[in-house]
């Protein structure tokens, strides 16, 4: 990589001086925000259009950024081009970029290797003194039905790869960072997933499964680490935001799942149409070959697509009392509300089946039989808020 040395350049240590820049954001619960102090962010994957825009905003604010660079991605010239432009921007003599090159550290790291994750965390602490926010943001989307992903040894390997990418690699980073957070007695783990953590998606079963696994892991983790003043937040934008910012892998299509037999649009069709809008990323659906692409949209299109999520991350990151979950965007919030409404209605419809084995009569049981009026009142919380 031509700019590897520049990307990995950084001071040996810092004392977090007060930055000149400030966020122009609507902050969440502003009285408890800690955004006036520079924070050190550790991004587990930093080459997506979303992460590059996030890094630029963080540097403008005066924050410090450790940018992990997955080897397979940084060696891909097209995938890494925008990040290299950012590094050149950091080295420029522009007044509004002053000090940027000293506040970013690029580290080549494969999250699937626990040793590399530990080394990256150690290097981040050595260079910047601490880590305030760990942002787990590695993503790729494997597209294929359950049967398509079970058809051959090669497609079955895609299942393992999906879990390695979304679940195991991010768990490795979390485990590597926890001792540092405990030693600091503070820290914030942010998990960038999607509303796929709430809603299953046809043609993306393994992505959904890996996302639910990571979110379930973090829900349990949040209780374990709350006594150490370590927070956990899951941020859920629409699935399209992550899918169009990262690698998309298409399993070979089985003829029985051809769109002509299903009038509803599929994620295979939707993402294929986006890719085909650009001649450089056009794809022909195949019944034999596994194919992958990095979507390429115009910069202005990416700005419109990802900036709402970027601003949500900057507003929540390092907050004294962050949400356990944050859904980005109106459409995503409505979709999740509809899903939860359906779950509640089905619970009420089959309340007799739920209560059939209860041997004790109670007011709560009687009210449940009358329409589930207290079901929501006794539902467990989503996670600790300390």
Alpha helices, DSSP H, located in 147-204? 153-163, 169-184
- Given pLDDT bands bounded at 50, 70 and 90, which one contains residue 198? confident
- Give the pLDDT of residue 239: 87
Highest mean pLDDT among 27-41, 70-84, 256-270: 70-84
Task: Tell me how far apart the alpha carbons of residues 34 and 318 are, in angstroms, rounded to a whole number.
Answer: 6
Model's pTM, two decimal places?
0.84
Strand partners for 107: 68
Answer yes or no: are the C-beta atoms of 358 and 266 closer than 8 Å: no
- Give the pLDDT of residue 222: 97
- Give the pLDDT of residue 300: 94
Task: Give pLDDT tens digits for 273-283.
Answer: 999 999 999 99
- Given pLDDT bands bounded at 50, 70 and 90, which one contains residue 44? very high
- Given pLDDT bands bounded at 50, 70 and 90, which one contains residue 25? very low
> Mean pLDDT over all residues of the chain?
86
Sole residue written with tokens 């700005």: 303
- Given pLDDT bands bounded at 50, 70 and 90, which one contains residue 382? low
Asked whether residue 290 carries a pLDDT value surpassing 70, the answer given is yes
- Give the pLDDT of residue 378: 47
* 280 CA to centre of own chain: 27
Answer yes or no: are the C-beta atoms of 37 and 16 closer than 8 Å: yes
Asked whether residue 27 carries a pLDDT value surpassing 90, the answer given is no
Q: 84 or 11: whose pLDDT is higher?
A: 84
- Give the pLDDT of residue 117: 98
Q: Which residues contact 343 (CB under 8 A, 6 or more apart)?
A: none
């Amino acid at each position: 990589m031509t700019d590897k040395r520049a990307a990995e350049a950084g001071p040996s240590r810092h004392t977090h001086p007060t930055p000149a820049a400030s966020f122009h954001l609507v902050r969440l619960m502003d009285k408890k925000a800690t955004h006036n102090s520079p924070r050190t962010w550790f991004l587990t994957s930093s080459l997506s259009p979303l992460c590059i825009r996030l890094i630029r905003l963080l540097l403008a604010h005066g924050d410090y950024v450790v940018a992990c660079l997955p080897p397979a991605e940084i060696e891909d010239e097209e995938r890494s081009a925008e990040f290299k432009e950012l590094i050149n921007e950091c080295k420029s003599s522009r007044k509004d970029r002053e000090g940027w090159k000293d506040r970013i550290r690029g580290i080549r790291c494969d999250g699937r290797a626990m040793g590399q994750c530990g080394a990256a965390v150690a290097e981040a602490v050595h260079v910047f003194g601490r880590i305030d926010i760990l942002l787990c943001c590695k993503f790729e989307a494997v597209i294929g039905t359950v049967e398509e992903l079970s058809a051959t040894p090669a497609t079955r390997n895609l299942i393992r790869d999906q879990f390695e990418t979304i679940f195991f690699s991010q768990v490795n980073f979390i485990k590597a960072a926890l001792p540092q957070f405990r030693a600091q007695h503070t820290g914030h783990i942010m998990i960038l997933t999607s509303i796929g953590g709430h809603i299953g998606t046809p043609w993306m079963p393994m992505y959904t499964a890996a996302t639910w696994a990571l979110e379930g892991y973090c829900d349990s983790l949040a209780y374990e680490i709350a006594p150490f003043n370590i927070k956990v937040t899951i941020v859920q934008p629409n699935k399209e935001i992550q899918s169009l910012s990262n690698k998309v892998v298409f399993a070979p299509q089985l003829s029985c799942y051809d769109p002509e037999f299903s009038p509803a649009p599929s994620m295979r069709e939707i993402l294929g149409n986006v890719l085909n809008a650009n001649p450089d990323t056009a794809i022909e659906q195949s019944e034999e070959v596994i194919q992958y692409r990095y979507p390429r949209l115009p910069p202005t299109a990416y700005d419109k697509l990802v900036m709402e999520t970027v601003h949500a991350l900057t507003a929540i990151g390092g907050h004294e009392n962050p949400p356990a979950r944050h859904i980005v965007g109106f459409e995503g919030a409505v979709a999740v509300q509809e899903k939860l409404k359906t779950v509640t209605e089905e619970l009420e419809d089959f309340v007799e089946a739920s209560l059939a084995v209860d041997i004790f009569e109670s007011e709560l049981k009687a009210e449940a039989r009358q329409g589930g009026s207290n079901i929501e009142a006794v539902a467990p919380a989503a996670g600790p808020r300390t």
